[in-house]
């Protein structure tokens, strides 16, 4: 009789942290011109963050971000490029985008509604022959591979 060990539990992602307003910078930005920018992990989202993607790729991960209370804004200009923003369910999101032969959309993989006093991220801008996608995900949900492995191990 052999004994199998259960699969290791994945590391939990720390939720976004609301920091005092005086620690939040006013403005920052990112420009991807025929290049790629990736911002993830522990970083501070400024009150106004501007993104320009011209034939480039920008990925922002807000799942472990430090954010100020109230409203923060992300303004996007995407031309022949791609912008992906990953947001946890504990941050409210409002989008107002104008696509021209492109997409500006929000995709929700969780059905959780954040509390009314949760920080708000207002995302605006335009996508000209480009794609802007805001993914609202639970960073601690099991991945498809973890679900499959658990199923094979007889867990579900």
Q: Are 106 and 95 in contact (CB under 8 A)?
A: yes
pLDDT class of 74 with cuts at 50, 70, 90: very high
**pLDDT top residue among 41 and 73:** 73
pLDDT, one tens digit per residue, over 93-126 is: 999 999 999 999 999 988 888 888 999 999 999 9
Map out the domains of the chain as residue ranges.
Answer: 17-152
- Give φ, ψ of 94 to 5 degrees: -125, 135
User: For 9-19, how does the pLDDT look when each residue is reduced to its tens digit (9 = 90+)?
Assistant: 455 566 788 99
Q: Are 89 and 115 in contact (CB under 8 A)?
A: no
Q: Which of 29-43, 47-61, 131-145 has the lowest mean pLDDT?
A: 131-145
Write down the pLDDT at residue 111.
82
- Residue 94: per-residue pLDDT: 95
Query: What is the number of other CB atoms lying within 10 angstroms of the CB of residue 21?
Result: 10
Burial of 31 (0-12, 13-18, 19+ CB in 10 A): middle
Phi and psi at 8, nearest 5°, equal -65, 145
What pTM was computed for the model?
Answer: 0.82
How far is the C-alpha of 77 from the C-alpha of 8, rounded, in Å? 42
Sheet strand arrangement including 103-108: 36-39, 57-61, 82-87, 131-136, 103-108
């Amino acid at each position: 009789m052999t004994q199998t060990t259960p699969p290791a539990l994945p590391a939990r992602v720390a939720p976004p942290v609301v920091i005092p307003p005086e620690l939040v910078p006013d403005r920052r930005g990112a420009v991807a011109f025929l290049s790629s920018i990736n911002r993830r992990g522990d970083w501070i989202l400024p009150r106004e963050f501007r993104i320009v993607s011209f034939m480039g790729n920008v990925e922002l991960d807000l799942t472990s971000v430090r954010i100020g209370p109230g409203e923060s804004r992300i303004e996007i200009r995407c031309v022949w490029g791609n912008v992906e923003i990953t947001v946890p369910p504990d941050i409210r999101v409002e989008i107002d985008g104008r696509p021209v032969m492109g997409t500006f959309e929000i995709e929700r993989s969780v059905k959780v509604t954040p509390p009314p006093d949760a920080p708000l991220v207002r995302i605006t801008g335009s996508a000209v022959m480009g794609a802007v996608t805001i993914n609202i995900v639970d960073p601690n949900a099991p991945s498809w591979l973890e679900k499959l492995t658990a199923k094979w191990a007889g867990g579900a």
